[in-house]
Structure 1
Amino acid sequence: MTASDTTAQAPGPKPLCDACQGIQRNWRKAPGHPELAQGLNRKEPRRHGQVTITEYQCERCGTHWDLENDKNNLHAGWSVVAR
């Protein structure tokens, strides 16, 4: 077995599409892209109160995203959950 055979057998996560690569992560008010389908939302507790987290999935590459809406945290925003 060669090195190229082992990489072909061990599938990694699918790469992000160009639109998903362009999303600025962990920054409040960063835009998503038009091919993100909105899913469920949930409330999670934080030190200062509850925040809303909305789930999205890219229709092109299948990446699952969470969008945290927290006005008190400048670094809340988009984060990849699964690919």
Structure 2
Amino acid sequence: MTQDPNRQNELKKMELCESCAGIQRNWRKAPGHPELVQGNNRAEKRGNHLATVTQYRCDRCGTAWEYENDKSNLKAGWSVVGR
């Protein structure tokens, strides 16, 4: 997840469809919605363990999402990464 302030401002201006707007971000186990299409996944090192990050794209509004599944971090989960 990016921490660049300019990128964060750009993401805030994006228009999300109603389904995407309803996704609870940064909470592991939060559900997505049926129009999210799964893409690639990758493993990322988090301290002494690996977390799985899976890419998704919304068929309705085109928003790109990532879901981080890190069992040791309850605040992992959904994040918007762009269009």
Q: TM-score range by the shorter chain?
A: 0.7 to 0.9
* RMSD of aligned residue pairs (Cα, Å): 1.4
In structure 2, C-alpha distance between the alignment counterparts of 1:73 and 1:33, rounded to whole Å: 22
> Partners of 1:51 and 1:73 in 2: how far apart?
9
Alignment of 1:1-83 (within 5 A): 14-83=14-83
Percent of pairs with identical residues: 65
Partner letter of residue 23 of structure 1? I
Instruction: State the alpha-carbon separation in 2 of the partners of residues 81 and 75 from structure 1.
Output: 16
Where in structure 2 are there 5+ consecutive unaligned residues?
1-12
Deviations along 1:31-67, one digit per CA (max 9) or x if unpaired, are 0000000000001001131110000000000000000
Larger Rg: 1
The ranges of structure 1 where at least 4 consecutive aligned residues each deviate by more than 6 angstroms after the TM superposition are: none
Q: Could you tell me which amino acid in structure 2 is paired with residue 53 of structure 1?
A: V
The total of aligned residue pairs comes to 72
**Cα distance in 1, alignment partners of residues 17 and 29 from structure 2:** 21
TM-score for the superposition, normalised by structure 2: 0.82
TM-score (norm 1): 0.82
